[in-house]
Amino acid sequence: MWYWLFKYVLLGPLLRVAGRPTVTGLENVPSDGNAIFASNHKAVLDSFFLPLVVPRPITFLAKSEYFTGSGAKGAFQKWFFSAVGQVPIDRTGADAAQDALNAGLRVLSAGNLLGIYPEGTRSPDGRLYKGKTGMARLALESGAKVIPVAMVGTEKMNPIGSKMWRPAKVEVRIGEPIDFSRFEGMGGNRFVERAVTDEVMYKLMQLSGQEYVDIYAASLKQNVVAAAPAAPEVPAADAARLPDTQAS
């Protein structure tokens, strides 16, 4: 119930006014049965605009941090993501990958639509990054077709670090479903999973027009943090002579 209320009454109208979304390829969405929506990821709003334009409900595997926050904000996030039917996954534990796989397979085995971001995280600079193979394993083990989706303009409406949405034109491009039944029974083969992932990423590159980078976005983010210069240390003797307004 909450999913449809947010889509048509509480949130959807605001998104339509602010983003003026257009969609192409809607005929590629199956009217029934399971499928995996594999999308590029440029902003948090990607998870809002795709369900807005697709007539059937889409379940995303959401990071568990959205369900474990503290205070009023944490409580609202937990309620919101639970109310719209999203599935929390822990991305830190040793069994995180298998838990995410199991959660995705449950959604697909029920004949539902699953949304996933093969890059694993938002693009830090608007380019398209190397895909992780979890999506491929889901497709191979479930037999579901993969539908590539390109989100365009969401990063302008919801830039990284922004707290407020900015009016901007959003476009959703839905590609033709990709059938990987030729690899049936080969789930777990890392070479096959990489081939499946790369095929999907190539389709995403064509749909989105993004420049492709053959490294993981998460690795790039870690390297940027590691390379950031550390704040200069103030010797204890000098710190003692700082005015109170600076030392506080």
* Domains located in the chain, CATH noted: 2-216 (3.40.1130.10)
**Does the pLDDT of residue 37 top 80, yes or no?**
yes
Quote the pLDDT of residue 244: 37
Confidence of residue 116 (pLDDT cuts 50, 70, 90): very high
Quote the pLDDT of residue 221: 64
| Residue 76 Cα distances to 70, 73, 79, 155, angstroms | 10, 5, 5, 24
What are 168-201's pLDDT values in tens digits?
A: 999 999 999 999 999 988 988 999 999 999 999 9
d(CA 113, CA 149): 13
**Does the pLDDT of residue 227 top 60, yes or no?**
no
Quote the pLDDT of residue 236: 37
d(CA 9, CA 12): 6
Burial class from Cβ neighbours inside 10 Å (0-12, 13-18, 19+) for residue 23 reads: middle
**Does the pLDDT of residue 142 top 70, yes or no?**
yes
**Does the pLDDT of residue 241 top 50, yes or no?**
no
Among left, alpha and beta (phi > 0; psi -120 to 50; other), residue 87 is beta
Q: Are 113 and 54 in contact (CB under 8 A)?
A: yes
Provide mean pLDDT across the span 12-32.
Answer: 96
Quote the pLDDT of residue 239: 30
The model's pTM is 0.84
Quote the pLDDT of residue 140: 96
Quote the pLDDT of residue 224: 53
d(CA 168, CA 154): 8
Q: Cβ contacts of residue 127 below 8 Å, gap of 6+?
A: 210, 211, 212, 213
Of 65 and 202, more confident: 202
Quote the pLDDT of residue 100: 83
Quote the pLDDT of residue 98: 82
CA nearest 122: which of 40, 64, 50, 197? 40
